[in-house]
Amino acid sequence: MKKIETELEDCYILEPNRFGDNRGYFSPVYINQELKELGFAGLVQISRSKSSKGVLRGMHFQHNPKCQAKIVEVIKGRALDVVVDLRKNSKTYKKWTSVLLTDENNRQLYVPRGFAHGYLSLEDDTVFQYFIDNDYAPDMEGGIPYNDKSIGIDWNKIFEEYDISVPNLSEKDTNRLELTEQNIEF
């Protein structure tokens, strides 16, 4: 597996090995020592979501002690994955990055604990997969608005680039408190 640094501390693009020929490909998924060294404690849950073009899921996280690290990928379609570092002691606190994940580019993103995570589906029937290292706890769920002013993600530019007029959000994601209105500790 190839590990590529992003602009954010402890957040990496992963490119798993892929072996293929005219019949298709084979790509093993390893939860090994290399991933544990990144901070991935071990596989607890695998989740999938399916989204139409323009669905924006995020920006989500779980509070301590149920904080989660994730390895995310697209297994069908295309999505722009977006993460924000919310760890106050990090050199990249309140910084963000985005990574295009597709079923063809064979990329995953390692999202450390203490990051808000979301993605924008870029085509219909996009299937997104999460490998998660801690139990989901509804009472520990948190989030910030996708367009939180203190983060400054240029969503208008992103929507224009991918020909999305209005993002499709859940009610919960429409009503998130701004980062400055919350006390988030990681």
Annotation marks residue 25 as catalytic: no
For residues 98 and 119, what is the distance between their CA atoms, to the nearest angstrom?
9
Nearest to 69 by CA among 108, 27, 114, 107: 114
- Mean of the pLDDT values across residues 27-47? 84
Give tens-digit pLDDT for 74-124: 999 999 999 999 999 999 999 999 999 999 999 999 999 999 999 999 999
Annotation marks residue 117 as catalytic: no
pTM of the model: 0.94
Q: Is 61 within 8 Å of 69 (Cβ atoms)?
A: no
For residues 141 and 156, what is the distance between their CA atoms, to the nearest angstrom?
27
59 upstream amide cis, omega within 30 of 0: yes
For residues 62 and 34, what is the distance between their CA atoms, to the nearest angstrom?
24
Give tens-digit pLDDT for 9-34: 999 999 988 899 999 989 887 667 77
CATH class of the domain whose range is 2-181: mainly beta
Per-chain mean pLDDT for the chain: 95
Nearest to 86 by CA among 68, 73, 72: 68
- Find the radius of gyration of the CA atoms of the chain: 16
- Helix (H), strand (E) counts: the chain: 3, 13
The DSSP 8-state label assigned to residue 112 in this structure reads -
pLDDT at 181 over 90: yes
* Euclidean distance between the first and the last CA atom of the chain, given in angstroms as a whole number: 28
Which of 12, 60, 117, 146 is labelled catalytic? 60
Which of 63, 93, 130, 162 is labelled catalytic? 130
